[in-house]
Amino acid sequence: MIGNRDLSWDGCVNVRDLGGLGRVKPRAVVRMEAPTSLSEAGWASAWAYGVRTVVDLRDPDESEPDHAPRPAGITTVNAPLDPVGTPFYERWQKIDSLASPLYFPALLAEHPEPVVTAVRAIANAEPGCVVFHCASGKDRTGLLALVLLTLAGAAPEEIVADYLLTFDRMKQRHDELGFRDQLTAVAELLEARGTTFEASLTSTITSLTMPDYLLANGLSDAELAALRTRLTS
């Protein structure tokens, strides 16, 4: 582990343990970009860290082959978080391409089912550390991290700081691809809507009542208990 939470797994650059935020224990859940670029040594590091389940938040159309084989003992669960093909998705593609915190409260309100499905995948995973990811590990991953961390009692400023880390972690990759600086681009998008990273995320966090949100949208009491045990005991 680099620092307290950053993990060095060869082939990926945006890997971090949520342990230490709120009441989350280390080696319970790890967020990252798509692990498809992990090398054999990178997968060996994930296995040695205790990873036994990977939850993929991407749409099936985004799937790509792994650069190196996953250890046989790792289970991959697909739990797409974006409601592709819905009016919601089409609307938000035009607003922010679902690439900023702007869409978080709308998704939580209008499409709670995929959120709860992803949470359930973590709650029901086999013993061991759970990794969850999307493509770059920023927004879909950030939304699920926000939900888990809010449940675990993390302060809004902790959740905001964790979200923002991805811009730094992924900057070199984005530069190599010729992308405009993403921190600046998203900040400008938020500013045009009269908000900031901090204000937008904090508003979402403080309006999310836990565990009521999860229970009202289909998570069972037993699954909630399992999730709390995984995250915090």
- For the chain of 233 residues, list the mean pLDDT of each consecutive stretch of 10: 79 97 97 97 98 98 95 98 97 97 98 98 98 97 98 98 96 86 96 98 98 98 98 90
Q: Which residues, including other chains, have CB under 8 Å from residue 107's CB and lie 6 or more apart?
A: 81, 83, 88, 92, 115, 143
β-pairing, 129-133 with 29-32? parallel
How far is Cα of residue 230 from the mean position of the Cα atoms in its chain?
16
Q: Alpha-carbon distance 202 to 199, whole Å?
A: 5
Q: Alpha-carbon distance 120 to 39, whole Å?
A: 29
Q: Alpha-carbon distance 115 to 220, whole Å?
A: 14
Are 30 and 17 in contact by the 8 Å Cβ rule? The answer is yes
Output the pTM of the full model. 0.96
Tokens of 117: 């499905």
Q: Structural domain boundaries of the chain?
A: 16-232
Q: Alpha-carbon distance 180 to 130, whole Å?
A: 32
Q: Any idea which architecture 16-232 has in CATH?
A: Alpha-Beta Complex (3.90)
